[in-house]
Homo-oligomer: A and B are copies of this chain.
Amino acid sequence: ASALPTSFTGVAQSSNPSTIMRYGFPSLDNIRTFDDFVLAYDKRNKNPHWVFEHLTPDKLPSSSASSANRKNSNFFEDDKIHEKHRSLLSDYKGSGFDRGHMAAAGNHRHSQQAMDQTFTLSNISPQVGEGFNRGIWNNLEKYVRSIARNNPNTYVCTGPLYLPKQESDGKMYVKYQVIGKNYVAVPTHFFKVIAIETTTGEYEILSFVLPNQPLKEDIPLKTFLTPLDAVERSSGLLIFDKLPRNKVKLINHRKP
């Protein structure tokens, strides 16, 4: 119980931000930095928001020459994420979805520790297993590695999307399943945007969007090329916005 202050005088002052925010800042993007990738965690959807990698030929030894093996890696909960917002192994268990890597394990074979880190659940989204994570998405990851083996620098940004669809009432709706006690979102789609620095110091960008569904493995990957602008609008991100545009020679195989 409290009393109305009996009087006040003078002109009301606006509050400065530090007063308004005195008892805590509800969120700042949860940036997590690992040995070989950087990610932002989406605390509402309990998914990565985006994951960034930098790949080079020397970081991509062949399977046989590599010092890491994914059989030695285990999925683990990211205890740097607040307990209220952390996805758990139990959320995925029995859900019917794979624990899908955003930074691919196979991109980080040059050290066991780097590979192990890709198994943190903050790098993981629920993916359809058969026909997606174990099919066409895996093909896309291999394609990115083949590019990265052949160019000096390859930058990869990967993340989930929650795309709207028109329903029979003519209106647009976003709809996605959530799994587990923490309601981990099952993204409707995933994007992967890569910026390739060629030996001449110029850049090529490829921007893919794939639906989180069982897909035929023989669909050509180029079918999924999607304007970068569409990825940026729907994800709420700006991707490679600091890449000098005059050095970008091709976007999705076309002159920009």
The verdict on A111 contacting chain B, using a C-beta distance below 8 Å, is yes
Q: How far is the CB of A60 from chain B (nearest CB, A)?
A: 8
Residues of the B chain whose Cβ atoms lie less than 8 Å from the Cβ of A11? 110
The verdict on A254 contacting chain B, using a C-beta distance below 8 Å, is no
Pairwise interchain contact A178-B182, C-beta atoms closer than 8 A: no
Give the most central of A27, A36, A164: most B CB within 10 Å: A27
Of B23, B61, B162, B171, the residue contacting A44 (CB under 8 A) is B162
Residues of the B chain whose Cβ atoms lie less than 8 Å from the Cβ of A80? none
Interface residues on A, range: 35 or more
Complex-state Cα separation, A54 to B22, whole angstroms: 9
Which positions 164-208 of chain A face chain B at CB distance < 8 Å? 164, 171-179, 182-183, 185, 195-196, 198-200
The verdict on A50 contacting chain B, using a C-beta distance below 8 Å, is yes
Residues of the B chain whose Cβ atoms lie less than 8 Å from the Cβ of A232? 84
The verdict on A134 contacting chain B, using a C-beta distance below 8 Å, is no
Among A119-127, A137-145, A209-217, A240-248, the stretch in contact with B: A240-248
Pairwise interchain contact B2-A151, C-beta atoms closer than 8 A: yes
8 more CB-based (< 8 A) A-B contacts, given A26-B40, A26-B235: A2-B196, A2-B200, A5-B152, A8-B57, A20-B37, A24-B243, A26-B50, A27-B29
